[in-house]
Structure 1
């Protein structure tokens, strides 16, 4: 009598009889574990291992290729949510808008800064330790309840953010784009602190000017037709001059400088294994510079008590 042949089973489902082997690891696999390959079938584990070994496609600036502007959409959503909070509670602007120095009394009345100040008031703004205003201010906008320009302010900024953000995000990838946006916003706040510390400012314009600078740098690096790009930048700079009469030109210029500086590092970092390190280092350097400038100015405003 012939010996009964051994039954082979799937290596993942040991109770399922199987007669097909993975072409990569040669283990038996059942139909649920089979994945089509160029030749034959592979198991789930080998397919995962192969995916890890495949080099991911990157943009010209080292970011992962993405077709959906997720970060841009999230940033717009955060700005809109902050604006809705302002409508419900207008005091949000006074509490979270960008302000270098100010005084507030026990009844909530705001006063211009003087140092030293009496016991009936206390410091507010960065001079009062409210460093979070550097980033919360750029997510707020002029309240519609106080000025007709309020709703126009946020609408224009969000339209600009959508137009520029989805282009820049597609080129930089999500992580680099988010770093660019936040550092541009921070750069705008820091220049406001340095040049107009007594002025309460709000708006995403500084970050958007940073995106505009990034768009210009990337266009030159990629060899775009610069005629249209130059016209766009001329319009942006013209708006910078016009807005000086009624908006925070310091915030606009600070965002422009921070965004442009960081994007130069993104665009001209060596295209080898050092690229990510150089780009990350540039981001840290910009952040460190802004932090030092902020600390120095707040120390000056508070007589060294920062």
Structure 2
């Protein structure tokens, strides 16, 4: 770095100040407070003492500890983004299958027929297992999609805020897959099911775990859970309105949500990412194993 020049003083005739390390053509009498590099006004970054160059600021940020939510997620400005995207996808698929292309519903719903010599849907093999995912976005009627989306909006933002986006999405998908697998395994020779209810019951189960982990009163969320289970089994058979609720998807999603929630919220801090990742992967693997085993039994 060149000789010190008093602030506001002009350099002696014939003497040139050093050039900025990034813009050599620009003379400057200011140096980085950390490394001493000459820096021009465009490169100066205000610090608690003096100015720093962009490289030193970048190194300082790399050494800083990244902020995380209580359960390891990255905080975000929009803490309900994934919830909003899921609601948007559900509504979009509903519009497509209900009004624009009704025939598309048959290709997306969770469908399985295992009558001898002509298996169809999930029972036909792995090329049809995509239905476990697509059926989570198909709904039967306005009331069906409305109730599920309201439930998703009530339960989703709170969990997404404390878990972070990716952990919340993992919880949702794992619960939905588990609900579909349970429906397939327990549905008999003919299975037909649609809706996000399995995933939403998973969120409900994880909410119970969240209340427990935070030592919050469990009565409100347990009351909500009991009411939903009563409705589930009360409408598990066709009634006068023609509504049939798939209790198998609800129970499967609920159990998956509880297990996933425990893994996400009680993981030891020292190995949190590993335990959380293995929990979500384990629930998904268990759901797929159920599908594989049941398909083998049907074809055996």
Task: Give the TM-score taking structure 2 as reference length.
Answer: 0.88
The residue number in structure 1 matching 2:218 is 226
Structure 1 spans left out of the alignment, 5+ residues? 103-112, 118-122, 143-149
Q: Find the partner of 1:280 among 277, 280, 283.
A: 277
Report how far residue 282 of structure 1 moved.
1.3
List aligned pairs for 1:128-143, cutoff 5 A: 128-129=124-125, 130-142=128-140
Asked whether the 8 Å contact 2:183–2:249 carries over to 1, the reply is yes
Secondary structure, aligned partner of 1:7 = coil
Asked whether the 8 Å contact 2:155–2:207 carries over to 1, the reply is yes
Report how far residue 183 of structure 1 moved.
0.4
The structure-2 alpha-carbon separation of the partners of 1:49 and 1:236, relative to structure 1 and needing over 3 Å to count, comes to farther
Secondary structure, aligned partner of 2:269 = coil
Q: Find the partner of 1:42 among 37, 52, 64.
A: 52
The residue number in structure 2 matching 1:105 is none
Separation (CA, whole Å) in 2 of partners of 1:200 and 1:176? 29
Separation (CA, whole Å) in 2 of partners of 1:88 and 1:205? 23
The structure-2 alpha-carbon separation of the partners of 1:239 and 1:43, relative to structure 1 and needing over 3 Å to count, comes to farther
Structure 2 spans left out of the alignment, 5+ residues? 1-11, 238-243
Asked whether the 8 Å contact 1:96–1:136 carries over to 2, the reply is yes
The CA RMSD measured in Å over matched residues stands at 1.6
Report how far residue 255 of structure 1 moved.
0.7
Asked whether the 8 Å contact 1:67–1:170 carries over to 2, the reply is no
Separation (CA, whole Å) in 2 of partners of 1:50 and 1:239? 56
The residue number in structure 1 matching 2:15 is 5
Task: Give the TM-score taking structure 1 as reference length.
Answer: 0.86
The residue number in structure 1 matching 2:9 is none
Separation (CA, whole Å) in 1 of partners of 2:235 and 2:209? 23
Q: Deviations over 1:108-156 (max 9, x none)?
A: xxxxx42124xxxxx43112230100100011101xxxxxxx1011111
Separation (CA, whole Å) in 1 of partners of 2:39 and 2:120? 68
Q: Deviations over 1:145-176 (max 9, x none)?
A: xxxxx101111111111111001000100110
Q: Deviations over 1:64-106 (max 9, x none)?
A: 223411111111111111111112111112111012x22xxxx
Secondary structure, aligned partner of 1:289 = helix
Asked whether the 8 Å contact 2:232–2:246 carries over to 1, the reply is no
- 1:151 and 2:147 aligned: no
Q: Find the partner of 1:125 among 115, 121, 128.
A: 121
List aligned pairs for 1:75-154, cutoff 5 A: 75-86=86-97, 87-99=99-111, 101-102=112-113, 113-117=114-118, 123-129=119-125, 130-142=128-140, 150-154=141-145
Moved over 3 A (4+): none
- 1:204 and 2:196 aligned: yes
Report how far residue 231 of structure 1 moved.
2.3
Secondary structure, aligned partner of 2:155 = helix
Separation (CA, whole Å) in 2 of partners of 1:29 and 1:238? 70
The structure-2 alpha-carbon separation of the partners of 1:25 and 1:137, relative to structure 1 and needing over 3 Å to count, comes to same
Separation (CA, whole Å) in 2 of partners of 1:226 and 1:247? 26
Separation (CA, whole Å) in 1 of partners of 2:59 and 2:87? 38
Asked whether the 8 Å contact 2:19–2:28 carries over to 1, the reply is yes
